[in-house]
């Protein structure tokens, strides 16, 4: 009897009501060369034709298909996929995005060369008109990083909280907490995975992934984020404390809190996703988190745009609302 060889990489593909994209995504993933892969599809309780397509793809031997008993969110779907996976590494993708045909080979090749627990590669956003691409993160961090150096780069925004341009050793992904945040759960996962990268993190400039910004996508929508931001902030704080408690007193950590948690929450409060009373109460609560220490941390990072927004949000709320309304009008 022939020995079954374990895959090098498990490609994790969570899907919810994604019948429009699933078949095409799987067939594009099947074109990956230079590595043994398995495609693990977790259907998060879809109500459309996703189940029929997923089971057909599994019957054809293209995927391993699992269906959640009910919709529980993408974090739960990813956790299920990681536990069902058998590869040495895991790569997380979304069905409606695009990637290079050699993405897995590029990521795995660097993982093998460096021995790192995490490999970070290049990616870019593709806007709906297809004409205005924008790089994701900073390619200037090429080379090996320790877990702490990578985590601090994450806090500074130099390594983003996106999953799809990163390869992770599955052993590490089995040990994290999959924060059940409705949005931004990627941030919590990446923070924990970087913090636990005992064999280090390797950053390469190769472009492997294109994130397609569609109308109505979470990154562009008015989805309420306040509760999720609390959960994500707690997860990042816990990861920082587990890595080195001194990080919690650092400028890098305070900058992250102000840049991502506070400003995102303040934007959420003015997103027209709440009624007036709820929006005012939320804004008052958030403004109290804009401290002089926080403003100094943002100033130290030489980030004038966010410093101006935080200053207006704390001391001149009408000016902040005007600036945000102008930004939405331009968008």
216 and 112 in a common domain: yes
- The confidence band for 132, taking pLDDT boundaries of 50, 70 and 90, is low
Q: What pLDDT score does 219 carry?
A: 46
Q: How do the residues of the chain divide into helix, strand and coil, expressed in percent and rounded to 5?
A: 50, 15, 35
pLDDT > 70: percent of the chain: 92
Please measure the distance between the N-terminal and C-terminal CA atoms of the chain and give it in whole angstroms.
60
CA-to-CA distance for 213 and 210, rounded, in angstroms?
A: 9
Give residue-wise pLDDT tens across range 279-300: 889 989 999 999 999 999 999 9
218 and 108 in a common domain: yes
Contact between 154 and 106 (Cβ < 8 Å):
no
CA-to-CA distance for 190 and 108, rounded, in angstroms?
A: 18
| Residue 127 in domain | yes
113 token code pair: 């060369």
Q: Mean pLDDT, to the nearest integer, of 157-161?
A: 94
* Overall domain count for the chain: 3
Q: Is pLDDT above 50 for 220?
A: no
Q: What pLDDT score does 212 carry?
A: 87
Between 274 and 23, residue with greater pLDDT: 23
Q: Mean pLDDT, to the nearest integer, of 188-217?
A: 90
CA-angle at 197, arms to 230 and 185, nearest 5°: 25
| Residue 184 in domain | yes
Which of 208, 224, 240 represents a domain boundary (last residue)?
A: 224
Give residue-wise pLDDT tens across range 38-65: 999 999 999 999 999 999 999 999 999 9
Contact between 172 and 196 (Cβ < 8 Å):
yes
- What is the span of the domain harbouring residue 268? 250-330
Q: Of 210, 174, 187, whose CA–CA distance to 101 is shortest?
A: 210
Give residue-wise pLDDT tens across range 69-103: 999 999 999 999 999 999 999 999 999 999 999 99
CATH (domain of 27): 3.90.550.10
Q: What pLDDT score does 2 carry?
A: 53
81 and 108 in a common domain: no
In order, the DSSP letters of 196-262 are T-TT-EEEEEEEEEEEE--TT-TTTS----HHHHHHHHHHHHHHHHHH-GGGGGSHHHHHHIIIIII
Counting every residue, how long is the chain?
331
220 and 113 in a common domain: yes
What is the Cβ-side half-sphere exposure of residue 89, based on CA atoms within 13 angstroms? 25
Q: Is pLDDT above 50 for 330?
A: no
Q: Mean pLDDT, to the nearest integer, of 242-271?
A: 95
120 and 204 in a common domain: yes
Contacts of 199 (CB under 8 A, 6+ apart): 115, 116, 117, 169
Mean pLDDT, the chain, integer: 92
In order, the DSSP letters of 54-107 are HHHHHHTTS-EEEE-SS---HHHHHHHHHHH--SSEEEE--TTSEE-TTHHHHH
Which of 42, 68, 96 represents a domain boundary (last residue)?
A: 96
Q: What pLDDT score does 328 carry?
A: 53
259 token code pair: 């840049």
CA-to-CA distance for 124 and 27, rounded, in angstroms?
A: 22
| Residue 245 in domain | no
Q: What pLDDT score does 310 carry?
A: 96
Q: What pLDDT score does 138 carry?
A: 58
- The confidence band for 331, taking pLDDT boundaries of 50, 70 and 90, is very low
| Residue 241 in domain | no
| Residue 239 in domain | no
Give residue-wise pLDDT tens across range 222-236: 578 899 999 999 999
| Residue 322 in domain | yes
Rounded to 10°, the helix 226-243/147-155 angle is 150
Q: Mean pLDDT, to the nearest integer, of 136-159?
A: 88
Question: How many other C-beta atoms lie within 10 A of the C-beta of residue 24?
Answer: 11
70 and 20 in a common domain: yes
104 and 81 in a common domain: no
- The confidence band for 322, taking pLDDT boundaries of 50, 70 and 90, is confident
Between 325 and 10, residue with greater pLDDT: 10
Q: What pLDDT score does 218 carry?
A: 44
88 and 3 in a common domain: yes
168 and 127 in a common domain: yes
CA-to-CA distance for 134 and 224, rounded, in angstroms?
A: 25
290 and 206 in a common domain: no
What does residue 61 show for φ and ψ, rounded to 5 degrees?
80, 15
| Residue 231 in domain | no
Q: What pLDDT score does 222 carry?
A: 53
CA-to-CA distance for 22 and 33, rounded, in angstroms?
A: 20
157 and 175 in a common domain: yes
Give residue-wise pLDDT tens across range 94-131: 999 999 999 999 999 999 999 999 999 999 988 877 66
The single residue listed with the structure tokens 């890098």 is 252
Which of 96, 125, 143 represents a domain boundary (last residue)?
A: 96
Give residue-wise pLDDT tens across range 184-197: 999 999 999 999 99
- The confidence band for 214, taking pLDDT boundaries of 50, 70 and 90, is confident
| Residue 236 in domain | no
118 and 19 in a common domain: no
Give CB contacts under 8 A, 24+ apart, made by 60-67: 62/26, 62/27, 62/30, 63/13, 63/26, 63/38, 63/39, 64/38, 64/39, 64/40, 65/41, 66/40, 66/41, 66/42, 67/42, 67/43
């Amino acid at each position: 009897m022939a020995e079954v060889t374990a895959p090098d990489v498990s490609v994790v593909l969570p899907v919810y009501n994604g019948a429009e994209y699933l078949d095409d995504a799987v067939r594009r993933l099947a074109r990956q060369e230079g590595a043994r892969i398995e495609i693990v599809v977790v259907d998060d309780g879809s109500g459309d034709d996703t189940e029929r397509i997923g089971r057909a793809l599994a019957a054809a031997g293209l995927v391993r298909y699992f269906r959640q008993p009910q919709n529980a969110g993408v974090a739960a779907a990813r956790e299920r996929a990681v536990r069902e996976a058998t590869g040495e590494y895991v790569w997380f993708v979304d069905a409606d995005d695009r990637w290079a045909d050699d993405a897995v080979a590029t990521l795995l090749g660097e993982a093998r060369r460096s021995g790192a627990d995490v490999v970070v590669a290049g990616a870019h956003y593709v806007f709906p008109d297809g004409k205005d691409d924008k790089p994701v993160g900073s390619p200037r961090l090429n080379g090996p990083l320790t877990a702490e150096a990578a985590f601090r780069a994450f806090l500074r925004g130099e390594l983003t909280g996106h999953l799809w341009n990163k390869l992770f050793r599955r052993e590490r992904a089995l040990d994290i907490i999959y924060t059940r945040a409705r949005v931004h759960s990627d941030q919590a996962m990446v923070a924990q995975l970087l913090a636990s990268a005992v064999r280090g993190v390797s950053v390469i400039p190769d472009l492997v992934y294109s994130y397609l910004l569609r109308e109505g996508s979470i990154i562009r929508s008015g989805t309420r984020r306040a509760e999720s931001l609390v959960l994500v902030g707690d997860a990042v704080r816990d990861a920082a404390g587990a890595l080195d408690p001194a990080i919690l007193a650092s400028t890098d950590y305070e900058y992250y809190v102000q840049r991502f948690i506070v400003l995102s929450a303040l934007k959420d409060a003015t997103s027209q996703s709440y009624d007036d009373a709820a929006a005012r109460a939320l804004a008052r609560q958030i403004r109290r988190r804009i401290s002089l220490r926080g403003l100094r941390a943002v100033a130290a990072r030489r980030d004038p745009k966010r410093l101006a927004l935080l200053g207006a949000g704390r001391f001149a709320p009408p000016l902040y609302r005007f600036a945000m309304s102008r930004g939405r009008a331009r968008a």
